[in-house]
Amino acid sequence: MTESTAICRFCHASCGIRVTIEENRVHIIGDLDNPGYHGYGCVKGRSFLECHSDPGRVPHPLQRDADGELRRTISASALDGIAHRLRSILAKHGPRSACWRMGRGSCRPPSTHPCDRISRYRAVLARTREDR
């Protein structure tokens, strides 16, 4: 059995969790020793493994083609497509036509996912500016 402490990355709260792997099975519980959360974890975090193994989970980027079909793509292509559309929106409706909205707001160091999303969004905006 291996055991480690980590943080739940499902949302920005980053609750402390304890992860054990035993006979190829992963178990996640709240980390009672975490000084900030004392073992707290919401139902979303506790069901993380169910979401991870859900057959409906989308494990890679998808992009809708001209026929309306979703096709697998790579992140860089998806970002290029989003940048292209954002550029069109900004050109047509002006700089105040796009914004970034992040729920319940703290922002943590770049290694955690909310800032990763911001970095990706900034990358999209940078691409729209580069192409002007």
**Which parts of this chain interact with ligand SF4 (CB under 6 A)?**
8, 10-11, 13-15, 41-42, 44-45
CB of 123 to ligand SF4, least distance (A): 25
Spatial distance between the Cα atoms of 8 and 31, rounded to a whole number of angstroms: 10
CB of 56 to ligand SF4, least distance (A): 19
Spatial distance between the Cα atoms of 73 and 2, rounded to a whole number of angstroms: 35
CB of 48 to ligand SF4, least distance (A): 7
Residue nearest to ligand SF4 (CB): 45
Cα three-residue angle 114-119-120, rounded to 5 degrees: 100
Residue placing its CB nearer to ligand SF4 in the complex, 88 or 106: 106
Spatial distance between the Cα atoms of 116 and 132, rounded to a whole number of angstroms: 25
- Do the beta carbons of residue 42 and residue 15 sit within 8 Å? yes
Residue placing its CB nearer to ligand SF4 in the complex, 8 or 79: 8
CB of 106 to ligand SF4, least distance (A): 11
Which are the contacts of 9, defined by CB distance < 8 A and separation ≥ 6? 112, 113
CB of 41 to ligand SF4, least distance (A): 4
Please, which residues bridge with residue 7 across strands? 16
Residue placing its CB nearer to ligand SF4 in the complex, 41 or 87: 41
Residue placing its CB nearer to ligand SF4 in the complex, 14 or 128: 14
Residue placing its CB nearer to ligand SF4 in the complex, 15 or 82: 15
Whole-number Cα distances in Å, 24 to 1, 4, 54:
9, 15, 17
